[in-house]
Amino acid sequence: MHEWALADAVVSTVEEKVGKRNLSILKEVHIRLGELQNIDREIFVTGLKMMLRGKQCGLEVFKIDMEEAGFKCNYCETEWKLNGYPGIGEDEREAIHFLPESAHAYMQCPKCGSSDFTVAAGRGVLIESIELNGQEPTYND
Ligand SMILES: [Zn+2]
């Protein structure tokens, strides 16, 4: 199950960042899940819970946000979201989730009509910040 592998990777990365210290020093870990990643949030959370067993760190430390799929025109730089794009039904949405590049078959830049655009948001999984008790948050980009 890829949610579990992902949960494992997130916890290992966090451990790496805090230098294998006791995870009770964690105050907040902010995670962003891209909509196009096809991650079942519930399964991911269950996976996290399992990976945190015996690590002195509770699940409540992990804040998980979903990032909506977004696109950007390479020609006029207009940005738009998958949600709300006219003519995108369940089938199209599913196809785009499965294969983000297929968006080109269903969408054009809403401003200039160009089909030269890139998937600008909603891909990948990011540990946005790790905040430790009594310290300023550190951001990676
Ligand atoms: Zn455009």
Same domain for 126 and 64, yes or no, is yes
Same domain for 38 and 27, yes or no, is yes
Q: How confident is the model at residue 1 (pLDDT cuts 50, 70, 90)?
A: low
Q: How far is the CA of 116 from the centre of ligand 1 (A)?
A: 8
Summarised one tens digit per residue, pLDDT across range 52-107 is: 998 888 999 999 999 999 999 999 999 999 999 998 999 999 999 989 999 999 99
pLDDT at 106: 95
- What domain range includes position 95? 70-120
Same domain for 87 and 113, yes or no, is yes
Same domain for 38 and 63, yes or no, is yes
* Residue 141 within any structural domain of the chain: no
Reduced to 3 states, what is the DSSP secondary structure of residue 27? strand
Summarised one tens digit per residue, pLDDT across range 2-60 is: 899 999 999 999 999 988 778 899 999 999 999 998 899 999 999 999 999 988 889 99
Q: How far is the CA of 1 from the centre of ligand 1 (A)?
A: 38
* Residue 15 within any structural domain of the chain: yes
Q: How far is the CA of 71 from the centre of ligand 1 (A)?
A: 10
Q: For 76-130, give the DSSP string.
A: T--EEESTT-TT--HHHHHHHHH-GGGHHHH---TTT----EEEEES-SEEEEEE
Q: Is 27:132 a contact under the CB 8 Å cutoff?
A: yes
Same domain for 6 and 53, yes or no, is yes
For the entire predicted model, the pTM comes to 0.78
Same domain for 100 and 56, yes or no, is no
